[in-house]
Amino acid sequence: MNATKTRKGLNKELGAKTAADLMTPNPVSINQNANLREALALFSDKGFTVAPVIDNAGRAIGVVSCSDILVHDREKVEYMTVAVETSPLTTRDGESVRSGFQVEKVDTTRVADIMTPAVFSVRPDTPVTQVVAEILRLHVHHLFVIDDSGTLVGVISPLDILRHMFA
């Protein structure tokens, strides 16, 4: 089978010709200055495992994943030292606090500090065959769609490709 025939077949099967046809527009992203708690809230609220990281101008500058946060948390969680009290500890409301408790030190790490600083992207007019080839070549689960100014305008995942194949 020649490459031209394969490309035409893929375009027909997907019902899409370009990245713009495949992409999910206006993807949810996270600002580089967000802290890890905000990233976790985004992931848990939206059911995501990865998000593009953008700068203040809306340009994609990296990717952060749940795995990035888990690795960071495993390596960086610190606990504050608690002085030994001779009398039982209580909260402001008078509730007893069991002995041996630990207070977690608040992690002020920013998303930019742990993200992968690489953006695998295509332009909106990139042919579908090239989009699929890039996902396979790069072994990635998401390709970002970036306009001429570098602004993030969409994201393409294997789910987007499958959605078009079976729509």
3-class SS of residue 31: strand
**Residues in the chain with pLDDT values less than 50:** 1-5
Structure tokens that stand for 119 in this block: 């953006």
pTM of the model: 0.71
- Domains of the chain (ranges plus CATH)? 3-165 (3.10.580.10)
Closest CA to 50 of 74, 66, 34, 30: 66
Q: What is the pLDDT of residues 71-92, one digit of tens each?
A: 998 887 666 555 555 556 777 7
Task: Please answer whether residues 144 and 121 qualify as being in contact, where contact means their C-beta atoms are separated by less than 8 angstroms.
Answer: yes
